[in-house]
Chains A and B, each alone.
Chain A
Amino acid sequence: MNESPADTDEVLVARAQSGDTSAFDQLVIRYSPRLYGMIYHMTSNKEDANDLTQDVFAKAYRSLRRFRGRSSFYTWIYAIGTNMTLNFLKKRNRRAAWSLDNLDSGIQNDEAMVDLAHAANPRHQSDLNELQKKLNEALQSLSNRHRAVVTMFDIQGIPHAEISKILKVSEGTVRSRLFYAHRQLQGHLEEFIK
């Protein structure tokens, strides 16, 4: 590859728009972990997250000529990802066969997770497997819109202002959704908070 890691998004987008596929590959490398993370935490399913993230980049690639740079590439692709994920979840929620049993579990052996779980909750030496299951269930109990803001703010650390641009809602709405979601999550995770 002939691009340097220092290439800005604007440079890579301009090159990709003029047909340089390797520039777009660089954008995929740059943003796939965060985008996959957002979609994974929204869907709680690895296969769905993989397929959706692929679809998001494919759609972004097809629509790249229409990208005028009014927002950052990061905001733009996140908006595509969020919309596609929300649409996917709407369809999935209609499917009767889908249940919480389909949620993934795979962090119980993650050392960082073990340490952090104990640090977050030293009095409650709970089984990590159980904790993850509860976390996923708690997240899935939220509406899709509320889960989106929790995912972006609490898990991914995206600021309110950026979330409001991605979701095209006011910052007040973002804060209010977060407040409501935290209150609801508190009820679901009470046993781990005491």
Chain B
Amino acid sequence: MSEPKTQVQKLIRLKRFEEPRDGYFEDFLAEFRSRRDEGGSLSSRLVSGLDNRKWFIGAGMAYAALLIVVLMWPIGPEAKTDPTRQPIIFEPKQPVRNSVTPPKVPTSIPRP
């Protein structure tokens, strides 16, 4: 290793003496514990929230699917409202009266 490089390394190594204040790592651990505890409750809340959300999403999806089915239901020409069409009324068949029935044509002409 050349001398200048050793000098560079010696200088850079000085940085290892940069340390945080006394008691910093005790505070660090306390902060970590506090965050972990919050995180634990947060994650459990998140899980229960996800459960609720799952039901909510499921219900929403079912509703959306139903809506789509209703909207997309194929509508045939007979189902369309056509103003020119009249409602069909079924009535019982009755004998036709006043109808002109052709006179009976004698099958044989009487002899005079």
Contact = CB atoms under 8 A, between A and B. Distances in A.
Q: Tell me whether chain A's interface is mostly helix, strand or loop, or mixed.
A: helix
A182 B25 contact: no
A135 B36 CA distance: 36
A89 B7 CA distance: 28
6 interchain residue pairs of minimum CB distance: A120-B10, A113-B17, A193-B7, A154-B12, A107-B18, A112-B17
A53 B13 CA distance: 21
Interface string A141-167: 000000000100011110000000000
B38 to A, nearest CB: 10
A46 interface: yes
Interface of A: 21, 25, 28-29, 32-33, 36-37, 40-41, 46, 50, 53-54, 57-58, 61, 106-107, 110, 112-113, 116-117, 120-121, 131-132, 135, 139, 150, 154-157, 182-183, 185-186, 189, 192-193
A76 B33 CA distance: 21
B18 A106 contact: yes
B80 interface: no
Interface residues of B, number: 25
B58 interface: no
Q: Tell me whether chain B's interface is mostly helix, strand or loop, or mixed.
A: helix
A25 B33 contact: yes
B17 A185 contact: no
A116 B16 CA distance: 11
B77 interface: no
B16 A33 contact: no
Given A106-B18, A113-B18, A120-B7, A135 B28 contact: no
A93 B36 CA distance: 29
A185 B4 CA distance: 10
